[in-house]
Chains A and B, each alone.
Chain A
Amino acid sequence: MTWLENNSDWVVELTIQHLFLALAAIVASVVLAVAVGRVAYVRPRVRQPILAAASVVYAIPALPLLIVIPLVLGVPLRSPTTLVVALTLYGTALLVGTVVDAFSTVDAGVRDSAVAMGYGRQALFWRVELPLSVPVLLSGIRVVTVSTVGLVTIGALVGISSLGTLLTDGFQRGITSEILIGVLMTMALALALDGALVALGRLLTRWQPRRRRRARTPLGSTEVIV
């Protein structure tokens, strides 16, 4: 691990770049997916076309997506924008279906009584439907987060700097420990963000009956998501 000692500053720098690229794409995915998913939920007629489009986008491998985007947007291939846009498309495609499911889980009786009490459309969305869809939404956001953090590394193949740079650089120079550090740091970042989301979820869903928490074994802190 002498490699790490000699290059720790660089690793920190790449980790920060990686974090920003991933966060930008994750936040954009969530915002976009909630907006698109909301439309799909509210208008059943466009739901199927939207979900079909999402599954098509999701089926396109990330690297080809990365190569097509500069042509469509006119940004340079090596620009971070390219990567963030590609990962946002990907994340949105992955999340849209979950958003529709999440809104569908909101109890119709609760929605109805909220309207009857005098919630307007805006208030209904922000104060009733969105908070109530958090549990399902969050499970989807966790998947997108882990996937996005991993996919950021692919940017290194076209020269967008991130922890992925350690993978390509390590491969070209034949330094196993460099790759290993890249892999471990990427995983650590993914798991840290995932942990943060779990904590946030606990905070936002204190109203839910805690069957799952009680079922947890004293040893395992692993949350079981099906």
Chain B
Amino acid sequence: MTTFLDALTWIADPANWGGAQGISARLLQHLAVTLVAVLAASALAIPLGILIGHTRRGRGVVVALAGAVRAIPTLGLLTLLALLLGVGVEAPLLALVALAVPSVLAGAYAGIESAEPAAVDAARAMGMSELQIVRNVELPLGAGVLVGGLRAATLQVVATATLAAYTSDTGLGRYLFIGLKARDYPQMLAGAILVAVLALLLDRLLATAQDRASRLAHSTEGTP
């Protein structure tokens, strides 16, 4: 209990917030890394997912590939890339993108696929182009699932960005490793609490977005 209080005291101490090594800087860094990784993964995976979901081709390959990527230990990818690319932020960023891609991809194609074939068929019969079908029918109907994929990817990236501090001086995870090395349990715990809170906040935020996106599908239902 005392350790817990010590950790909270450590977080509450204004001295730990300022400067390049301070909580605010590291928090922003953690957020920025997460955001960049998820955005980059989305830029790659959402178009691909839409293509797979719409054409219903190549899903088997993607599922197998995503399964294999999920089996890769994240720490392994981080350390491997760090050895190959050095201790900068590039190595963890690359690892984070690689790890986020399968979740985003799965969300995108599952979302597009979740559109009822009858609705898609009707849209085509009405004379919509394939692009219009994607934009007006499949995307609104699958938006909830797609955002769900982004949510899963974000959680994965926030967690892994914490591990990234093992190989590179990035983000909130650094407090964990400094604390671990110096046997400074309060600092380690403070880092853990900060990361956990950040992850929970982002998860809630994206859960809300997912709800909104799902409602999009329901408001579209029934309208041609």
Direct contact of A and B (CB under 8 A): yes
Q: Which residues of A does B touch, CB under 8 Å?
A: 55-56, 58-65, 67-68, 71, 146-147, 149-151, 153-154, 156-158, 163-164, 167-168, 170-171, 174, 176, 179-180, 182-183, 186-187, 190-191, 194, 217, 220, 222, 224-226
**How many residues on B have C-beta within 8 angstroms of the other chain's C-beta atoms?**
44
Closest to B189 in A: A67
Q: Are A71 and B3 in contact (CB under 8 A)?
A: yes
Q: Are B71 and A187 in contact (CB under 8 A)?
A: yes
Compute how far the CA of A92 lies from the CA of B142 in the bound complex, rounded to whole angstroms. Answer: 28
Compute how far the CA of A151 lies from the CA of B60 in the bound complex, rounded to whole angstroms. Answer: 26
**Of the candidates B68, B73, B199, which one forms a contact with A167 in the assembled complex, judged by CB atoms under 8 Å apart?**
B73
Q: Which 10 A-B pairs have the closest CB atoms?
A: A61-B159, A64-B192, A183-B76, A171-B79, A59-B203, A190-B71, A153-B73, A67-B192, A222-B64, A150-B73
Task: Give the interface SS of chain A, mostly helix, strand, loop or mixed.
Answer: helix
Q: Which residues of B does A touch, CB under 8 Å?
A: 3-4, 59-60, 63-64, 67-68, 70-77, 79-80, 82-84, 110, 155, 158-159, 162-163, 166-167, 173, 176-177, 180, 188-189, 191-193, 195-196, 199-200, 203, 207
8 A-B residue contacts at CB 8 Å?
A59-B199, A68-B189, A71-B3, A150-B71, A153-B74, A157-B180, A176-B80, A191-B68
Q: Cβ of B207: which chain A residues have Cβ within 8 Å of it? A: 55
**Of the candidates A157, A217, A224, which one forms a contact with B166 in the assembled complex, judged by CB atoms under 8 Å apart?**
A157
Closest to B151 in A: A59
Q: Cβ of A187: which chain B residues have Cβ within 8 Å of it? A: 68, 71-73
Given A59-B203, A146-B67, A222-B63, A167:B79 Cβ within 8 A: yes
